[in-house]
Structure formats: C-alpha cells, structure tokens
A = this chain, B = another copy of it.
Amino acid sequence: MRKSFHQDLDEISEQLIEMTRLAGSAMSRATTALLEADLHLAEGVIAADEQIDTLRRQLDDRSVDLLARQQPVATDLRRVVTAMRMSADLERMGDLAQHVAELARRRYPDSAIHPAMRSTVQQMGQVAERIAAKAGSVIASKDIETALALEHDDDEMDRLHQDVFAMLTDGRWTYGTEAAVDATLVARYYERFADHAVSVARRVVYLVTGQFKPGADTKNEDS
C-alpha cells in the first residue's frame, strides 16, 4: 500500500511539472503574440488553456481519490493537500497567459503594446518564462535553494511592474488612454503569474521544511 501511494504521488508530481511546463510555454507564446500582434499564436494559446484546466481536474480527482483510498496521515496527507493547492496556482498561471493572449487578439491587427513599453513587456515575458521553468524544477528536485532563488526573479518582476506604473503615471505618457489601460492590465497579469509561481515554490519549501513563509499563500502584490 505504501508503495502504491508513493507511486500515485510521483505521478501527481509529474502532472504538476507538466502543468508548469504548459503554463510557462503558454506565457512565452502569449508574450510573442502580444509583441508581434500574432493572431494565430494568440488563438493557439487561448485554445491550449483547456489542456491545463483538464490536467487540473484530473489531478484534483486523482488527489481526492488518493485521500479516499489510502487515507494518508501526517506528511503524506500534507503532500496530497499541497499538490491540490499547487494545481490551483498552476491553473491560474495558465489563465493569466490566456488573458495576455486575449488582449493580443483584441487589439489585432495592432499590437496592444506601445513601442515605448515594448522592452519592459519583453523583459516581463522573459522573467515569467524563467520563473515558470524554475517552479517546475523546484517541484521535481524539491531543492530549497532553487525555491528561494525564485524569489529574486519575482523581485525583478515587481521592479518591472513598478517601471510600467512609473511610465504611465509620471506625466510623460502621451500615447493615449487605451494603451495605458492595456499596459496596466498586462503588467498585472505578468506580476500575478510570477506570484503564483512563487506560491508553488513556497509550497514545496513547506513540504520539505514544514515551515511556510508568512504571507506566502497570498503573496501580497503592491497594486
């Protein structure tokens, strides 16, 4: 019974890693779609979100089934519950990538991103890709160092997020309100994406150390 339980748990872990990969890839493609006004790519991202949603449902059903069949306690129980919380974070990351793609589609054939904002958004996309990749390796390796290092990527995302707001509100923004609204939303999507990746990493730390960083469950965004 123990062996079977841990096999199940390994498979759940594999599925979480797959969800992380899909969410990272979705955000990476959404960023390109946004910057290049690539409608085809945007629609691909939007359509692919269903796959992440399905994985989440499967993972949650499997977890509940595992709780019912194996009745785990202590650390084993905590692992299953934590996996379900991670799947919620990862599904949300997929949704946020989808939102970025939807914005790209809405403004097509224009780009939703004004040239003045392009480099910052590009960097946000890169950080998002990196942070998702790291979240995946943290789930796989349960390595605390990598989990903590991921917070630095999140700090970088927060800085970029602040850069966007500074550009919009320092009185020099002359590119119109619609572009400002789009930039506000896009910046928030990327920032929330990174928050959920941090949350995933913190859950791994919690599993390994039994310690949850305060406020980790609802990483407090600034705006």
Among the 9-residue stretches A1-9, A29-37, A68-76, A118-126, the one with 4 or more Cβ atoms under 8 Å from chain B is A68-76
Q: A177-B180, A181-B165, A218-B95 are in contact. Are A68 and B64 (CB under 8 A)?
A: no
The answer to whether B169 and A178 have CB atoms under 8 Å apart is yes
A15 within 8 A of B: no
* Interface residue from B102, B169, B180 paired with A223 (Cβ < 8 Å): B102
A18, B57: Cα distance in complex, Å: 28
Interface-side segment among A19-27, A77-85, A134-142, A143-151: A77-85
Of the candidates B68, B180, B218, B222, the one whose C-beta lies within 8 Å of that of A180 is B180
Residue A67 interfacial (CB < 8 Å): yes
A56 within 8 A of B: yes
Tell whether A92 is near chain B: CB-to-CB under 8 Å. Answer: yes
Given the complex of chains A and B, what is the CA–CA distance between A31 and B51 in angstroms? 38
A168 and B188 within 8 A (CB) = no
The smallest C-beta distance from A71 to any residue of chain B, in angstroms, reads: 4
A218 to B81, CA, bound (A): 19
Which residues in A have some Cβ–Cβ distance to B below 8 Å? 53, 56-57, 64, 67-68, 71, 73-74, 77-78, 81, 84-85, 88, 91-92, 95, 98-99, 102-103, 106, 165, 168-169, 173, 177-178, 180-181, 184-185, 188, 215, 217-218, 220-223
* CA–CA, A103 and B221, complex, Å: 12
Q: Which residues of B contact A77 (CB under 8 A)?
A: 64, 67-68
**B residues less than 8 Å from A57 (CB atoms):** 217
> Which residue on chain B has the smallest CB distance to residue A50?
B215
Q: How far is the CA of A88 from the CA of B118 in the complex (A)?
A: 35
Give A69 Cβ to nearest chain B Cβ, in Å.
Answer: 9
Residues of B within 8 A of A220 (CB): 95, 98
Instruction: Select A92's contact among B103, B165, B218, beta carbons within 8 Å.
Output: B218
8 Å CB contact of A188 from B91, B173, B188: B188
The docked-state distance in angstroms from the alpha carbon of A71 to that of B70 is 9
Which residue of A88, A103, A217 has the most chain B CB atoms within 10 A of its CB atom?
A: A217
Closest to A76 in B: B68
